[in-house]
Chains A and B, each alone.
Chain A
């Protein structure tokens, strides 16, 4: 309650200000420009803060909204306030159309493209004079209200719009849409592997980030009563948005608002006291450089971190929220996976090849995983096992061959689609999203491609309850609110497993689950695998810990130089000369008689003998 009051106080102050001082037109003007900048910064934050795709051309949407209102006003006389939603729609449509193509790029390429788009739009606005009146610009009719009201309607228009934008941004962040976006920012390939349809998420975020700016653009046009291409599509406008969001704290909800007010006031002060707009460019340049160098996280996170240091919060070890917050327990029988007749092939890899330049990592490999088994995939380092995993999950495209899953061909499908079909995968080195809590990490995966799932709540609701249950399954409930990066390595592996389970997978690919993990945790992992296998989940496990493999898995497939060289029950594999050759080299001879090789010797260079955990 108190928290709500504190959040509401500045908003109430903003709402009441013009009522208290109705004649301060100049101050209202400065404030409404700050509100406009805040709208843009909060919107920008959705694609560039949450999803990490930094756009340096975002003011193009303001221009689009402004021109929509202007053109409609000229041809139909429609009041720009009424045209505002159309402005938003135009911006949204163009953002989605462009985003679908442009969001395929990352890093440098994306930033450069956004700049190029902005400037290209400016040129087109200048040259398509039949639509935009070119450089002459568009003049809108003056507002009809009396002079005493001055800029108040604009003030409230932007204020209400800011509230709507903030509400949208908060709703996004609180849903699986938001966790998906943060996942994309942190590790886009991992996000795809856990069922996040990265194309759809990014495009939706880009479109949403454009909508409110487009609506604001219409109001802006009305405020200026004059539009021209250079002013409407200016690169400095985009830089201001970025600066505002950076200063306040990119990726947070309120940071962009705070940053926007600071930047707008500072800019106005520079113009009034600092000798005109020449110094404004200097101010922006210096501020941008300083913020990037010394305050890249922004003001809000820095202040919060400082506050946390002064007032450390004790870590809670009981999952109060989970226990008290979980809704009434609804028992649904977990539907057993569609009965595949036992011993039917769930995964089939047929003649798959992958080359990297001159290196052939996977060479016409064939592999079959029968449903209901825990199949092991072993082999020396560099034999192509992880690459094969990547080809099965879709992180890479094969150069040749086919991958079949559950009777359908999947090698042309994107990674998230394969995740929705029920393929889950853990990684050799854990890839959790460090910017989120453990609970958020587990909520992030999407088991299906429906919009409803995407918009489901990430903190409350069905999905969050499911995530808490899974965390309980792996025994890590008490860490639900800790940042994922603060867990130990072994604990992270367990969280990753919980993530995979959110997908309701039928096939789980485990990439070296026991690597770097102490023996008791290895036991726990094996126990989990057995339990899940009993419920019908098929496993394909890559491991170097041979005792664990031999105890847990049947059959065992041996990989060497990019292809499978042997397959069979553990006991058979243990003695296979081809396997021994591959692991130990062709000049190795077993010590003593050929009655069998001791388990220790059969493990590939490294994990040997007695200290290794077994299952």
Chain B
């Protein structure tokens, strides 16, 4: 079994025969085309293939599935309206299972093996970090619907474009502004900041905390929990024991729901509750926590279904038609917007030239369902977010004034039902 090579005449022969056979089989099986990487020829009969990888399963499956819906609706809309550069477009989606190694392999395959014409980004900063690096290595334009973490834009990438109004740290500004606008006796005195260890959620809460502390709001509790946390009882106990006026949670989805449930169990309802991301999931969110319990929850959002931005009504209608009358989640809207950005660039430049597309986007604004988007040299967007609040089972925009859909603001939040 483990004989030394010089005495066992048989072993090395069979082992290397096996290895030779394997190598030959490999060489034959992997015979593929041998041309160097070149841009696809613009054949008018063939569809333009757009490749993307999304977390359809795993930790980010909720936003990932929404993003897919957004992309698909955009593709259907473009194809129904003459296509892109007079060609139909085809979307190629793979599942990266919320796993970073997989997303790298997926984009590498899409680019080098499937040789897609264009790319669309994935969901979550954690996945977009490595995926955008693959795109940048291959000099392909990378428009991402999510991935606003600060460090995304510190790498000197030229082909990265973030299709949302602002990056993560800027998201909290609008909430801090609103608190600032309150008369001093109505402001919260104390605050708690539980956040998931997520490169997007955490910076939002960090900047909010800094902003509120500057306003004199005392921090009584602050913690960071791992992404796969499902047990929120200890955090909820700690919060309930300290009775803060404001709770601001950096959530993705499941954890946002989990904390609310735990707070319900302990019967503690803060006067102001702010969560990132989770409340933007429309029906999924209200089903999970109960419609009555959504009342008064604040969050910042890049999009609102009532906005009068270009194509927004069509988007909402198409989504409702396709998905049982549901309201789109913010992630679906962001994905649709990413598609719009890509489309605008291609139509403006007139051909699929990755560098030209990237250059054009850096220099020009694009009108999307999120409003007007512009970018700086690093691909970071320069606009601002909206402050939204659940009211009566619906989402209303309460700030800034020019985008508000209502003047009512619920403060304080009612207790749990």
Do A and B touch (CB < 8 Å)?
Answer: yes
Task: Let me know if A136 and B149 touch, CB within 8 A.
Answer: yes
Task: Let me know if B2 and A436 touch, CB within 8 A.
Answer: yes
Interface segment among B74-82, B126-134, B307-315, B359-367: the answer is B126-134
Task: Let me know if B2 and A142 touch, CB within 8 A.
Answer: no
Interface residues contributed by chain B, number (CB under 8 Å)? 64
Instruction: Kindly provide the distance from the CB of B277 to the nearest chain A CB, expressed in whole angstroms.
Output: 16
Q: Which of A192-221 contact B (CB under 8 A)?
A: none
Q: Size class of A's contact patch?
A: 35 or more
| In the complex, B44 has a CB within 8 A of chain A | no
Task: Let me know if A139 and B22 touch, CB within 8 A.
Answer: no
Task: Let me know if A14 and B7 touch, CB within 8 A.
Answer: no
Which of these, A13, A224, A321, contacts B20 with CB under 8 Å?
A13
Interface segment among B105-113, B295-303, B409-417: the answer is B105-113
Given the known inter-chain contacts A148-B37, A276-B95, A301-B1, please indicate yes or no for A254 contacting B108, CB distance below 8 A: no
| In the complex, A408 has a CB within 8 A of chain B | no
| In the complex, A10 has a CB within 8 A of chain B | yes
Task: Let me know if A147 and B139 touch, CB within 8 A.
Answer: yes
Given the known inter-chain contacts A135-B227, A139-B155, please indicate yes or no for A224 contacting B101, CB distance below 8 A: yes
Give the distance in Å from the alpha carbon of A213 to the alpha carbon of B112 in the complex. Answer: 28
Task: Let me know if B137 and A321 touch, CB within 8 A.
Answer: no
Give the distance in Å from the alpha carbon of A126 to the alpha carbon of B198 in the complex. Answer: 11
Which of these, A6, A26, A228, A460, contacts B109 with CB under 8 Å?
A26
Q: Which of B1-39 contact A (CB under 8 A)?
A: 1-7, 9-20, 22-24, 26-27, 30, 32-37
Instruction: Kindly provide the distance from the CB of B71 to the nearest chain A CB, expressed in whole angstroms.
Output: 17
Q: Which of A308-356 contact B (CB under 8 A)?
A: 308, 311, 313, 321
Instruction: Kindly provide the distance from the CB of B106 to the nearest chain A CB, expressed in whole angstroms.
Output: 9
Task: Let me know if B199 and A254 touch, CB within 8 A.
Answer: no
CB < 8 Å A-B pair total: 187
| In the complex, A25 has a CB within 8 A of chain B | yes
| In the complex, A27 has a CB within 8 A of chain B | yes
Q: Which of B227-286 contact A (CB under 8 A)?
A: 227
Instruction: Kindly provide the distance from the CB of A220 to the nearest chain B CB, expressed in whole angstroms.
Output: 10
Task: Let me know if B151 and A26 touch, CB within 8 A.
Answer: no
Q: Within 8 Å CB of B36, what residues of A?
A: 23, 148
Given the known inter-chain contacts A10-B20, A254-B19, please indicate yes or no for A147 contacting B2, CB distance below 8 A: no
Instruction: Kindly provide the distance from the CB of B24 to the nearest chain A CB, expressed in whole angstroms.
Output: 7
Q: Which of A387-401 contact B (CB under 8 A)?
A: none
Task: Let me know if B5 and A277 touch, CB within 8 A.
Answer: no
Q: Within 8 Å CB of B97, what residues of A?
A: 276-278
Task: Let me know if B22 and A261 touch, CB within 8 A.
Answer: yes
- Nearest neighbor of A226 in chain B, beta-carbon distance: B130
| In the complex, A83 has a CB within 8 A of chain B | no
Q: Which of B303-347 contact A (CB under 8 A)?
A: none
Give the distance in Å from the alpha carbon of A170 to the alpha carbon of B2 in the complex. Answer: 11
| In the complex, A481 has a CB within 8 A of chain B | yes
Give the distance in Å from the alpha carbon of A126 to the alpha carbon of B197 in the complex. Answer: 9
Give the distance in Å from the alpha carbon of A139 to the alpha carbon of B104 in the complex. Answer: 13
Given the known inter-chain contacts A24-B34, A313-B10, A459-B4, please indicate yes or no for A137 contacting B126, CB distance below 8 A: yes
Q: Within 8 Å CB of B222, what residues of A?
A: none
Instruction: Kindly provide the distance from the CB of A386 to the nearest chain B CB, expressed in whole angstroms.
Output: 30
Which of these, B26, B57, B100, contacts A228 with CB under 8 Å?
B100
Task: Let me know if A136 and B26 touch, CB within 8 A.
Answer: no
- Nearest neighbor of B138 in chain A, beta-carbon distance: A147
Which of these, A3, A303, A435, contacts B1 with CB under 8 Å?
A435
| In the complex, A407 has a CB within 8 A of chain B | no
Task: Let me know if A307 and B104 touch, CB within 8 A.
Answer: no
Task: Let me know if A10 and B14 touch, CB within 8 A.
Answer: no
| In the complex, B383 has a CB within 8 A of chain A | no
8 shortest A-B CB distances, which residue pairs?
A226-B130, A26-B113, A10-B19, A25-B112, A254-B15, A6-B16, A10-B23, A276-B95
Q: List 30 A-B contacts (CB under 8 A).
A: A3-B9, A6-B12, A7-B12, A9-B16, A13-B24, A23-B34, A24-B30, A25-B37, A26-B113, A31-B26, A136-B151, A137-B100, A139-B155, A147-B139, A174-B5, A225-B130, A226-B129, A228-B100, A255-B15, A257-B19, A258-B15, A258-B22, A261-B22, A277-B96, A303-B18, A304-B14, A308-B10, A311-B10, A437-B7, A481-B3
Hey, which bits of chain B sit against chain A, CB under 8 A?
1-7, 9-20, 22-24, 26-27, 30, 32-37, 56-57, 94-97, 99-102, 104-105, 108-109, 112-113, 126, 129-130, 133-134, 136-139, 149, 151, 155, 197-199, 226-227
Given A22-B34, A253-B5, 18 new contacts (CB under 8 A) = A6-B16, A9-B20, A23-B34, A23-B37, A25-B112, A26-B109, A29-B105, A29-B112, A143-B137, A225-B134, A251-B2, A252-B1, A252-B2, A252-B11, A271-B102, A304-B15, A313-B10, A437-B7
Hey, which bits of chain A sit against chain B, CB under 8 A?
3, 6-7, 9-10, 13-14, 17, 21-27, 29-31, 50, 126, 134-137, 139, 141-143, 147-148, 150, 170, 173-174, 182, 224-226, 228, 230-231, 251-255, 257-258, 261-262, 265, 271-272, 276-278, 297, 299-301, 303-304, 307-308, 311, 313, 321, 435-437, 439-440, 458-460, 481, 483
